[in-house]
């Protein structure tokens, strides 16, 4: 069974600065996807960024980028130029690439607060 661990329950960052959120996972699969989801207060969850395990290049989406270390089973999210709207819970998630029946396994999440 796959597990996803987010060991930092809370983080805080000053507006315009950079913050890194950590995530580790455990799996015996070789092909899989990793995700970071954002859940703002009282709002619905949205996908921030996705990484395919077979790709060596780290995924980037505007101010969001990941550091994917496959051997270490580490998948951190870097948010550059933090904005007040980045305040939310962030969840790291794993999905094996075994077909249409694959399911998302989420970590416990981290609460990120961006200070003005």
Provide the minimum distance between the beta carbon of 27 and another protein in the complex, in angstroms, as a whole number: 13
Exposed, middle or buried: residue 1 (CB in 10 Å: 0-12, 13-18, 19+)? Answer: exposed
Q: Report the C-alpha gap between 47 and 91 in whole angstroms.
A: 10
Please say which residue, 18 or 113, places its beta carbon nearer to another protein.
113
Q: Taking a C-beta distance cutoff of 8 angstroms, is the pair 104, 94 a contact? A: yes
Which residue, 14 or 103, is less far from another protein as judged by CB?
103
Q: How are beta strands 110-115 and 19-21 bridged, if at all?
A: unpaired
- State the Cα–Cα distance between residues 31 and 51, nearest whole angstrom: 11
**In the complex, least distance from residue 75 CB atom to another protein, rounded to whole angstroms:** 14
Can you give the binding site for another protein, defined by CB under 8 A?
4, 32-33, 43-47, 50, 52, 91, 93, 95-97, 99-109
Name which of 16 and 110 has its Cβ closer to another protein: 110
Minimum distance, C-beta of residue 33 to another protein, in the bound complex (Å): 3
């Amino acid at each position: 069974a796959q597990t996803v661990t987010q060991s930092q329950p809370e983080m805080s960052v000053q507006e315009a600065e950079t913050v890194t959120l950590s995530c580790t996972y455990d799996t015996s699969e070789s092909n899989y996807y990793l995700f970071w989801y954002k859940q703002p207060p009282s709002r619905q969850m949205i996908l921030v960024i996705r990484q395919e395990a077979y790709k060596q290049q780290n995924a980037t989406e505007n101010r969001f980028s990941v550091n994917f270390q496959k051997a270490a089973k580490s998948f951190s999210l870097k948010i550059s130029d933090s904005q007040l709207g980045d305040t939310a819970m962030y969840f790291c998630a794993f999905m094996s690439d075994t077909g249409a029946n694959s399911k998302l396994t989420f970590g416990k999440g981290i609460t990120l607060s961006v200070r003005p």
